[in-house]
Amino acid sequence: MPLSGTFSGWTLILVFVCACVALAKPVGLWLFMLYEGRTTRATRLLAPIERGFYRLAGIDPAREQTWRQYALAMLVFQVVTVLVTYALLRLQGVLPLNPRALPGLAPDLAMNTAISFATNTNWQAYAGEATLSNLSQMLALVPHNFLSAATGIAVAFALFRGFARRETGSVGNFWADMTRITLYLLLPLSLIYALVLVAGGVPQTFASTIEATTLEGAHQTLVVGPIASQEAIKLLGTNGGGFFNANSAHPFENPNALINALQMLSIFAIGVGLTWCFGRAVGDTRQGWAVLAAMMILFVAGAGVLYWQEAGGNPLLHHTGLAGANMEGKELRFGAAASALFAAVTTAASCGAVNAMHDSFTPIGGLIPLFNIELGEIVIGGVGSGIYGFLLFALLAVFIAGLMVGRTPEYVGKKIEGHEVKLAVLAIVVLPLCILGGTAIASITAAGLAGPANRGPHGFTEILYAFASATGNNGSAFGGISANTPFYNGALAVCMWIGRFFVMVPVLAIAGSLARKNVTPASAGSFPTTGPLWIGLLVAVILIVGGLTFLPALALGPIAEQMAMLAGTTF
């Protein structure tokens, strides 16, 4: 297929990448201030609130924790918030702010939703506007959007400290990190962003519905609610859960092209800032720029292939005389370019927001979002989870480089030994075990096969995408699978929990191990980790590991469907 697409479409991708790179340092400076615990005028203004939280909770923010204490605090906090959310969702029918008298959620759906939002996945096996009350949206879900995002950043900060510190047993204080990230970063950004969204046409109200008259004179009841406040943190925190079932394709969530562009930038903003913050934390900003460069190479490659395929359209339709881009499942107000770019952005980060139906993409177009998730969404990744996931591959890459060329395996001044490599591999293999294992079980059981709406390789891809999205804590779906069943609610909830915390705990263990080591000055025997050679090696290791792991499954799904489509076969 020749290169397709329009000049404006390719320009949109280029401008977006440039804007993301430009955001890295200013956002990184803000994050580095939080990482160090420095005070500014803004922090002094909110400091009484911060101290009040500590007094109420009986926390001493100056008392640092070992990695085990940090991990235990994090896990206990997650379990408590899951139980509280489960109770709120089950009791929704008797709680206030429920003007449509919606009943409480079934046990399996309530459990799935509680775990989904606690793990920053925001997988939704239900239609939000028809299932959740305003109270559930605001009190059960929105707090998780802040707290799960803050948890990811806190774990990233702990890993940064592991690299930056020497001969110490502590990696920070979980409660202090969570409080400062939420109070000084996520809340102010979300407040400002929500006001921008309201000005752009996104509703924010306690009303339940409004009446509208169509151009034909018919009357229509439209569901509204506190949408802008949820949208802001949903995107900034790479959460992705939509107020509406149509998510960011709904005009109340995403009213125009300008807001659409702003939403994509906000998904990446904190992720790119964390790369610069990492470089500053370890005392060499070139390290952060190298990580960002590797991320952007992977992102541009994926976004380019995705747009090329969607702009090229479906050859089966071309043979009937219907030429043009593949617009099935896309909003006309966004077009193929903005829809393809949004899909690449939301799956390169752990954000499940979508403005198009991924189920309707061309086979290779649908492969790119799926492969982004299968890589662990380290291309830019979720807030915090992206950078620490990428650094796991960096540890693996520098170890492999040391074996190949006989150099000392060091990364940012710390010797990388067997203990760290084993932990990194343990965290990396969690995803394929859950994704491929869950897909295998669903593909041979009656309960699993009842979910996909399509036959053949496309139906297999729907199952594969569901388990990839859950394990990768993305939350988007191909859209053609009926997942609100006891089987899928239970299986995907388990995958969400494992995909989140079975990665976080090894990361914290690596942080603790590195913090105990002294810094080793770079020498002639050290492998350089800032230049083009390192960036190329890092990209190659990620693609080889991902390719070897997932290529067989992809061959059964989107690749087989692409071959069938080119041969004129339909299912």
Over residues 156-188, the pLDDT tens digits come to 999 999 999 999 989 999 999 999 999 999 999
Helix (H) or strand (E) segment spanning residue 411: strand 410-411
Euclidean distance between CA atoms 75 and 73, whole angstroms: 6
Output the pLDDT for position 272.
97
Output the pLDDT for position 266.
96
Chain-centroid distance, C-alpha 109: 21
Euclidean distance between CA atoms 391 and 393, whole angstroms: 5
Domain coordinates of the chain in residue numbers? Answer: 385-566
Q: Which of 223, 380, 182, 375 is nearest to 294 (CA)?
A: 380
Output the pLDDT for position 2.
52
3-state secondary structure of 526: strand
Output the pLDDT for position 244.
85
Output the pLDDT for position 460.
96
Euclidean distance between CA atoms 316 and 429, whole angstroms: 38
pLDDT at 259 over 90: yes
Euclidean distance between CA atoms 208 and 233, whole angstroms: 21
pLDDT at 570 over 90: no
Euclidean distance between CA atoms 197 and 233, whole angstroms: 11
Please classify residue 126 by burial: count the beta carbons closer than 10 Å to its beta carbon, then call 0-12 exposed, 13-18 middle and 19+ buried.
middle
Q: What is the mean pLDDT of residues 506-523?
A: 91
Euclidean distance between CA atoms 248 and 240, whole angstroms: 9
Backbone phi, psi, residue 39, to 5°: -100, 145
Q: Are 190 and 61 in contact (CB under 8 A)?
A: no
Euclidean distance between CA atoms 321 and 310, whole angstroms: 17
Backbone phi, psi, residue 320, to 5°: -90, 0
Q: What is the mean pLDDT of residues 238-254?
A: 88
Q: Are 490 and 140 in contact (CB under 8 A)?
A: no
Output the pLDDT for position 200.
94
Q: Is the backbone of residue 353 left (phi > 0), alpha (psi -120 to 50) or beta?
A: beta
Q: Are 313 and 5 in contact (CB under 8 A)?
A: no
pLDDT digits (tens, 9 = 90+) for 84-115: 999 999 999 999 988 888 999 999 999 999 99
pLDDT digits (tens, 9 = 90+) for 528-561: 899 999 999 999 999 998 888 999 999 999 999 9
Residue 126 token pair: 């239900």
pLDDT digits (tens, 9 = 90+) for 390-446: 999 999 999 988 887 777 788 998 999 999 999 999 999 999 999 999 999 999 999
pLDDT at 27 over 90: yes
Euclidean distance between CA atoms 521 and 229, whole angstroms: 47
pLDDT digits (tens, 9 = 90+) for 299-356: 999 999 999 999 998 888 877 777 789 999 999 999 999 999 999 999 999 898 999 9
Q: Which of 371, 374, 376, 369 is nearest to 390 (CA)?
A: 376
DSSP per-residue string spanning 187-234: HHHHHHHHHHHHHTT--B-S--EEEEE-TTS-EEEEE--BHHHHHHHH
